[in-house]
Amino acid sequence: MFKKILIANRGEIACRVIKTARRMGIATVAVYSDADARAPFVQMADEAVHIGPAPAAQSYLIADKIIAAAKQTGAGAVHPGYGFLSERTSFAEALAAEGIEFIGPPVGAIAAMGDKIESKKLAKAAGVNVVPGFVGEIEDTEHAVRISAEIGYPVMMKASAGGGGKGMRLAYNENDVREGFEATKREGLNSFGDDRVFIEKFILNPRHIEIQILGDKHGNILYLNERECSIQRRHQKVVEEAPSPFVTPAMRKAMGEQCVALSRAVGYYSAGTVELIVSGADPTGESFYFLEMNTRLQVEHPVTEAITGVDLVEQMIRVAAGEKLELTQDDVKIDGWAIENRVYAEDPYRGFLPSTGRLVRYNPPVEGWTDDGEENGRRGVDGIRVDDGVYEGGEVSMFYDPMIAKLITWGETRDEAADKQIAALDAFEIEGLGHNIDFVSAIMQHPRFRSGELTTGFIAEEYPEGFHGAPASDELKVQLAAVAAFVATARADRSRRVEGQLGGPLDPPGEWTVTIDGDVFAVELDEDLLTVNGEEVELELEYTPGDRFVDAEVDGEDLTLKLDVTRTGFRMTTRGAIHKVDCLPAHIAGYTQHMIEKIPPDLSKYLICPMPGLLVSLSVGEGDKVEAGQPLAVVEAMKMENILRAEKSGTVKSVNAKAGESLAVDAIILEME
């Protein structure tokens, strides 16, 4: 077994590898850029080596710097995590040349499966079902248009070396191809150093199912069941679960055996994932097609660990050290259900725009995952696990992926795992930048998610007008009204301290008018009795004026909410939405109708930069006439290109920025007449 390994990655996955290595008694080395000098993974590792400036192209993507750090510290092996150099054959070859073990698959498998074009050719030759498409070299945009027409719309354009949702464009017509082909090439080049693109048929009502593969150097290969990864936004996974609510035992066996055969054909060992696209329109579940193979650990690996009890990082290390798998296929079971939500630095209320900045507050529902035994290991504490690599006061940088943390929950049933997600998300405190906690909570509550009727179009279909918060039930509004009146009373009498129950005489006012999302509630508090619209409500909570979070029990149901005080009441965030709650003494509530409403300024004539980023291109100039929906500019942020379009027809009055400039959020790019 290795005495010391180097982790050629950053953030939560670096922390994840370090924790398992530490449990195995293996020393660890971290490498870090300028932006990560104070990051948790750097502090956790036994040694750390600085490798360059913040941009990945000048640090984490420079193989020579990684190898030099391994030699300098005497690391006998390198774990690449995912992304960065994890699927670069040249990196694995360079490590081998220096006598350093690569904790991953053999070079031949990376080469065969890491290239999406070549992997499809190999899969087809091996008799594996593949999606119809063009897997040769595409010369230019005109060639791409001809190919797309031959395949038949809709089609998907993908960067050959892409991954993580980057370098992908869906095209429904010729205009989409013309707009997206060059952008796909640029994203592939910028993120992966390869601008080749392939085009394939887009399967309607598709489900994204993937099979976890694990093999050793002695010819043993297993499949560790499947993961459902259909809920995606911009082709990047948002929610993952294991097992899939769609896959039957027979389907699981057919998929698993086919994926093992494919892995065996390339001599695969270590952990890997075969991704499949499945037609949800086929009730038999037999219409599944090879999509790609990721020759590395996946972001969503914790859900597989939770239902199988297998530590995939540990197995990767043991396989790299030459050990045989102790598991057989018959040992692989499914115990319960696990769901993972990716907590991203993005604002779902503003069209999911990337959000960078300082984490003024960061307090996850449980401490970051520690693998210190069965109870607190792969399933976390009480079925809640947080994998993260950030800290309060740190920054989420524009240079790297916007993921803040992964929240994993395990339950005996799918509903139990989803309910734990909702409760844990309510208790997840993040301030200082936008995040998607409300959005993923809303998904967990959505009737369609609960039914298991998922496709990769879930988000676009269920939120066509964008996200505005999860709808609140009548029951939740009553609960919020009770909490609001009680907290308002406690604030009015700062000398009171609540110790878990109502008690003692209440100073007036004891009657409140609470307005929530337009609904009005009359709340009365009289000693130990609280009523909402005349109906008694049992309330227990602890609150001290100034508390940001309230843990309450309302009519026997737990409720956790974030509380911000406003001029006329509160802003309460819970259950996937921000609720404006006006709470006024009943005798003055009627006067609010005389308050002057502040009308926001009209900004529709400006093209405003929605996030900090680089202005890649500007399509118009002063005096140009534009039509509604016409692309005006492209802004790159967090390795993704975003097309900014005209809200309405008009003429460009002035241009305030030029291509190549770094723009701040809300910077005015141009103004219309």
Which residue numbers are catalytic? 292
Chain centre distance of CA 231 = 10
Cis previous bond, 505, omega within 30? no
In angstroms, rounded to a whole number, what is the distance separating the alpha carbons of residues 514 and 224?
52
Backbone angles phi, psi at 223, to 5 degrees: -115, 135
Helix (H, G, I), strand (E, B) or coil at 70: helix
DSSP state of 516: E
To which residue do tokens 């097609």 refer?
A: 289
User: If 0-12 CB within 10 Å is exposed, 13-18 middle and 19+ buried, where does residue 450 land?
Assistant: middle
Other CB atoms within 10 A of residue 132 CB: 11
CB burial string 619-652: b at 16+ within 10 A, e below: bbeeeeebeeeeebbbbbbbbbbbebebbeebeb
In angstroms, rounded to a whole number, what is the distance separating the alpha carbons of residues 629 and 622?
18
In angstroms, rounded to a whole number, what is the distance separating the alpha carbons of residues 342 and 302?
12
In angstroms, rounded to a whole number, what is the distance separating the alpha carbons of residues 369 and 360?
22
To which residue do tokens 């809709």 refer?
A: 154
Q: Which helix (H) or strand (E) is 222 found in, with range? A: strand 221-233
In angstroms, rounded to a whole number, what is the distance separating the alpha carbons of residues 87 and 8?
12
DSSP state of 592: G
Q: Which residues pair with 27 in a beta bridge?
A: 4
User: If 0-12 CB within 10 Å is exposed, 13-18 middle and 19+ buried, where does residue 590 land?
Assistant: exposed
Chain centre distance of CA 85 = 21
DSSP state of 329: G
Q: Which residues pair with 213 in a beta bridge?
A: 223, 272
The radius of gyration of the chain's CA atoms, rounded to the nearest angstrom, is 27
Say if residues 572 and 581 touch (Cβ distance below 8 Å).
Answer: yes
Q: Can you say whether residue 451 is alpha, beta or left, with left for phi > 0 and alpha for psi between -120 and 50 degrees?
A: alpha
Chain centre distance of CA 290 = 23
DSSP for 124-153, written as a single string: HHTT--B-SEE-S---SHHHHHHHHHHH-S
> Residues near 482 by Cβ (< 8 Å), separated by ≥ 6?
523, 530, 532, 537, 539, 554
Count the alpha carbons within 13 Å of 379 in the hemisphere toward its beta carbon.
18
Say if residues 164 and 184 touch (Cβ distance below 8 Å).
Answer: no
Q: Which helix (H) or strand (E) is 155 found in, with range? A: strand 155-163
Q: Can you say whether residue 322 is alpha, beta or left, with left for phi > 0 and alpha for psi between -120 and 50 degrees?
A: left
Pairing of strands 47-52, 27-33: parallel
> Residues near 45 by Cβ (< 8 Å), separated by ≥ 6?
7, 14, 18, 28, 29, 30
